[in-house]
Chain A
Amino acid sequence: MTKSMKKLHKPTRRDALKTLALGATGAAAATSLPLWARYASAQSAEPIRVGFQVHRTGIGAAYGRWYDRTTTAAAELINENGGINGRPVEIIAEDDGTDPKRGAEVVEKFANQHNCDIGFGTLFSHVVIGSAPRAGELKLPYFVVSEGHHVASGMLNRYTLQPGITDVKSQVQAMAPFVASNLGKKVTMIFPDFAFGHDHRDYFTAAIEAQGGEVLEHIAIPPTETSFTKYFPKIPRDTEVIYHVMVGPAVLTFVKELGEFFGPNRPEMFGFIDSLEAVDIGSPGLEFLDGTYFWEGNPRYAQADQSEHDAFFRERVGVDANGASVSDPKDVSTYAHMFGCWETLHVVKAGMESAGYQGTGDRAKLIEAVEAMTDMPHSQAHPQGAKLFNGKTHQVFGHQYITKVTDGKLLLVHTTSIEDTLYPDEVDYTTQSL
């Protein structure tokens, strides 16, 4: 492990000393002073209020639990290092029940009752689409961590940004060459029947056709479905690759029934880890997954060449090398997505600092400061990898990971470049008024 980390970074002794010295003085300064004095450089000691829209209940609850833990850990880290512009960050969490209607109300509460500086953290695409228009009307900067293509497609507004997680269109576009050249060209897609699944359907179909492949059948399943076998006979006999992505509380049933359907002769399988987020890959009935491939936004299992930033991120959030909670190995994280909360909060910090953000009157300046960002290097603030932000489309682009199930673990087999994930702009939000 140490050997491979050295290979990656080659730190010199001087670098190490510099980092240590900086860390020591920073930490000493921050911890030896009383709380009020730590933030004395700020014009106001009022906290920066981050309205955290969290799926604590409803079909997104497993994600919500880990988005919550990641956000808490990120805010703690930011506060330990002096907060934002010398002001502490306060996370104000509100449950939206993974419900679009409630989502819009929560955004309203952030702006009008809690006096939040920003809204943050929404995942499920239908909730984002339901909430973003209200955030735009209220001129509340709304930082979503959703993966949906709805930000970059131009469907939303200038106040909605996605700087911490890549979108489905860029992900599937980067996956298609791997699928076509390694697994097969005749694909059957199984996806949830709502905006997020439709993004998969539309963009993967186009991307695989560009690779000379074809999608034989699209199988849409309602995200609230609990029984899946009845959908599988639609899979054509000559399918070479099953492309699956599913969400909701019944994902384990979905994957298990997929295995039971095929029995010993399964085709190749390529899944988005969403089908098994927060589910132990060693659960009974999932043995057939051995040898199948997954897209992961961030590899759940600590890989042989794990970066120091990933190790730091795991430690701070409380995740072990298998992607489960350190306090309960059965509590598997949503590792492929939750880094987005951490990174987004760090983007907010960087944006507020470059805008000289003082209060809700500076919200427009914050939007402009984030729009001006481009390169985000692989760092403690961006543990998943380097990223490239597009200020016009409000969407970030980054590396994607493909892992293979090997002896009950997900081992990294391919990392895409950022260039693999780029596509032409579909919108220029900067032309909209602030």
Chain B
Amino acid sequence: MEFGPYLMLASLEGAVTAAVLALTAVGLSLVFGVMRVVNVAHGEFFMLGAVLAWWIAGLVGGNPAIGFALAIVFVPLLVGAVAVLVDVTILKRIDYDPERTIVATIGILYIIQQVTLMTYGPEARPVEAPFNTRLALPWFEFSDGRPQMYWPWGLSTTSYKLGVIGAAVAVLIGVWVLMARTKIGLVMRATQLDREMALAFGIPVEKVYALVFGLGAGLAALAAVLIVPIQQAHYLMGHDPLLLSFIVVIIGGLGSLPGTVLAAVLIGLSDGVISVFFSPTLAKILATLLVALVLVFRPQGLFGARRA
């Protein structure tokens, strides 16, 4: 394949990765930003989303779109509810102490993973996409001095992949509106800025924490529901999203939504392009190197505010 169409294909693939990654990472970033805790179990909420999507989609027969629609509505709510439960029963009891939270969420990671293994099993199972048409894409070449359109071999995407990108953009706008334009967003931002002051002004900080933890997990689950018709639900699938989300959140700046989204696009696209032209291992090496460089030269991340 020539360079141009090749690059376009790589970018399209990268954009799908970036879209899903952005949703997952924004969830992680919210939790860190507001609650100041690191949620190591974030990838398992993602996995739980995919597995529950398979379960819900399998409950209803008929058109695959019905099962998928049910999954996209109910799975984030279910996973969010699990996360709220985790917050109330565990994180609250250890006072959101940063070190103890890390250990506790590692425990939750294993509990969710092993319970999934014991119930759902070790298989990878597919969910049928609600719509999936192959779209061949054109490319231009110059012949006789004027551009001509042609259809290169293999340059294509599917309507579902474009749908994933669109849905992710819509959800991210929704999250931004929630944070910037609603009362609940104001309350969250107030809690993020100064917990004690928020408490003094009568903001129910513990409820806000539970809500944010649920919202973060719900976003990860939503990302998983979107990706599961492309990939398959598998009990070990939470590992990569966790690692990449951390990379994205560190590069973007902890707690910064625009930074997180930008970093997700950067990492997702570069992962797609570099693994196409060089090797997937090199893509991971470069992403990790970027994290190291950011930590050394701009510890607050690209968009993060420096703390006093």
Contacts and interface: CB of A to CB of B under 8 A. Distances in A.
B153 interface: yes
What class of interface size applies to chain A in its complex with B? 20 to 34
Contact of B156 (A226, A237, A261, A278): A261
A237 B153 contact: yes
A235 B154 contact: yes
A99 B263 CA distance: 33
Nearest to A220: B279
A225 B230 CA distance: 13
B6 interface: yes
B136 A263 contact: yes
B234 A230 contact: no
Contacts of B6: 233
A379 interface: no
B17 interface: yes
Given A222-B280, A261-B156, A284-B128, A227 B136 contact: no
Query: Which of A233, A249, A251, A252 neighbours the largest number of chain B CB atoms within 10 Å of its CB?
Result: A233
A249 B124 contact: yes
Interface in B1-39: 1, 5-6, 9-10, 13-14, 16-17
Interface stretch (A53-61, A165-173, A200-208, A384-392): A53-61
A274 B13 CA distance: 25
A226 B117 contact: no
What class of interface size applies to chain B in its complex with A? 35 or more
Contacts of B196: none
Nearest to A259: B134
A263 B134 CA distance: 7
A250 interface: yes
A283 interface: yes
A261 B17 CA distance: 17
Given A227-B230, A260-B156, A252 B272 contact: no
Interface string B73-115: 0000000000000000000000000000000000000000000
Interface in A52-93: 56-58, 61-62, 64-65
Contacts of B236: 58, 249
A433 interface: no
Query: Which of A225, A227, A230, A278 neighbours the largest number of chain B CB atoms within 10 Å of its CB?
Result: A230
Interface string A235-273: 101000000000001111100000011110100000000
Contact of B126 (A62, A65, A252, A261): A252
B231 A250 contact: yes
Contacts of A62: 122-124
A232 interface: yes
B8 to A, nearest CB: 10
A225 B237 CA distance: 11
B240 interface: yes
Query: Which of B136, B153, B234 neighbours the largest number of chain A CB atoms within 10 Å of its CB?
Result: B153
B132 interface: yes
Contacts of B237: 226
Given A263-B156, A285-B132, A230 B275 contact: yes
B288 interface: no
Contact of B232 (A56, A64, A252): A252
A231 interface: yes
Contacts of B280: 222, 225
B276 interface: yes
A342 to B, nearest CB: 22
A230 B231 contact: no
A229 interface: yes
Contact of A265 (B5, B153, B276): B153
Interface of A: 56-58, 61-62, 64-65, 222, 225-227, 229-235, 237, 249-253, 260-263, 265, 278, 283-285
11 contacts: A56-B122, A57-B122, A61-B122, A62-B122, A64-B122, A229-B9, A233-B1, A233-B154, A249-B124, A260-B158, A262-B154
Given A57-B117, A252-B124, 19 more contacts: A62-B123, A64-B122, A65-B122, A227-B13, A230-B276, A231-B275, A233-B276, A235-B154, A249-B232, A252-B126, A253-B230, A260-B156, A263-B134, A263-B136, A263-B156, A265-B153, A278-B123, A283-B126, A284-B128
